[in-house]
């Protein structure tokens, strides 16, 4: 069986978006990305200095059109960077083409709500706890590491939360407060919350994916290689 493309070791990001090479792949200074020198996981921060992305406008239309045109295998592999459930990725890929970004999000939400418990376990196993951005206070980093460790020992998977729209200054307090609040829940309650956070994170990642596909130069074969099936 092919290895899941999100099971390799990585440095955990703040909110698990597309590979860093995807953002810089069209810049000659970055060189040509490949599966050998790129972490084939969702381990980059959100697109820098682009502002909120609401899935509208001509650039988005281009990205969605390119997403619709991906081969089934490439689309499936790319979608696994948005949610680690193979069934989720298959469903979202199979329902293409999407007429607009809202339709894509609706299909993704439906697939998220329909995840079975094994599907949810597969997706949670692909997640890594969010980190603070570089330059965060050392005491906050230590406190967050300890909180993540306690959470994982209690629930058996990484803490999942959608931090889209959270400023760097708010991250430490929001993360620690959320972990402590959710540590008081029982396993079933926390699993339900984790599932909904996965759904929200997948929406952000889909926006990032279609945003990346709006590259003015198009997407090269090397860049598509970032999402090539593994195994």
How remote is the C-alpha of 154 from its chain's centroid? 23
Same domain, residue pair 216 and 112: yes
Does residue 9 form part of some domain?
A: no
The domain of 177 spans: 138-194
Same domain, residue pair 112 and 214: yes
Confidence (pLDDT) at 131? 83
Confidence (pLDDT) at 217? 56
Q: What is the pTM of this model?
A: 0.73
Same domain, residue pair 33 and 84: yes
Confidence (pLDDT) at 38? 30
Same domain, residue pair 186 and 204: no
Does residue 45 form part of some domain?
A: yes
Domain CATH number, residue 75: 1.10.3330
Same domain, residue pair 95 and 40: yes
Total of domains in the chain: 2
Same domain, residue pair 183 and 206: no
Same domain, residue pair 24 and 56: yes
Does residue 73 form part of some domain?
A: yes
**Helical H runs in the chain?**
20-24, 58-69, 72-79, 86-94, 101-113, 117-125, 138-155, 168-183, 187-212, 221-224
Same domain, residue pair 46 and 81: yes
Q: Alpha-carbon distance 190 to 196, whole Å? A: 10
Does residue 130 form part of some domain?
A: no
For each of the chain's 231 residues, which pLDDT tens digit applies? 445 545 443 333 333 443 322 333 333 233 322 222 333 333 333 333 334 445 555 546 889 999 999 999 999 999 999 999 999 999 999 999 999 999 999 999 999 999 999 999 999 999 998 888 888 899 999 999 999 999 999 999 999 999 988 888 898 999 999 999 999 999 999 999 999 999 999 999 999 999 888 875 555 444 555 554 443
Radius of gyration of the chain (CA): 17
Count of other CB atoms within 10 angstroms of residue 148: 20
Same domain, residue pair 59 and 167: no
Does residue 61 form part of some domain?
A: yes
Confidence (pLDDT) at 36? 26
Those residues whose C-beta lies under 8 Å from the C-beta of residue 176, and which sit 6 or more positions away, are 140, 143, 144, 147
Is residue 173 within 8 Å of residue 15, measured between CB atoms? Answer: no
């Amino acid at each position: 069986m092919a290895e899941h493309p999100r099971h390799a070791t990585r440095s955990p990001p703040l909110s698990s978006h597309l590979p860093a090479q995807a953002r810089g792949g069209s810049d000659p200074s970055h060189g040509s990305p490949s599966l050998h020198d790129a972490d084939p996981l969702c381990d980059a921060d959100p697109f820098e200095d682009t502002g909120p992305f609401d899935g509208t406008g001509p650039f988005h239309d281009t990205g969605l059109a390119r997403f619709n045109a991906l081969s089934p295998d490439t689309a499936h592999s790319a979608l696994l960077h948005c949610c680690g459930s193979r069934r989720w990725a298959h469903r979202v890929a199979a329902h293409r083409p999407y007429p607009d970004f809202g339709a894509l999000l609706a299909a993704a939400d439906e697939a998220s709500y329909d995840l079975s418990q094994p599907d949810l376990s597969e997706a949670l196993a692909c997640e890594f706890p969010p980190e603070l951005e570089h330059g965060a206070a050392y005491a906050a980093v230590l406190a967050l590491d300890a909180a993540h460790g306690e959470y994982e020992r209690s629930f058996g998977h990484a803490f999942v939360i959608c931090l889209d729209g959270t400023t760097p200054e708010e991250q430490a307090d929001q993360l620690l407060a959320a972990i402590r609040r959710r540590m008081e829940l029982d396993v079933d309650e926390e699993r339900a919350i984790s599932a909904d956070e996965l759904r929200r994170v997948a929406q952000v990642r889909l926006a990032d994916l279609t945003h990346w596909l709006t590259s003015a130069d198009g997407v090269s074969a090397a860049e598509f290689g970032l999402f090539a099936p593994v195994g």
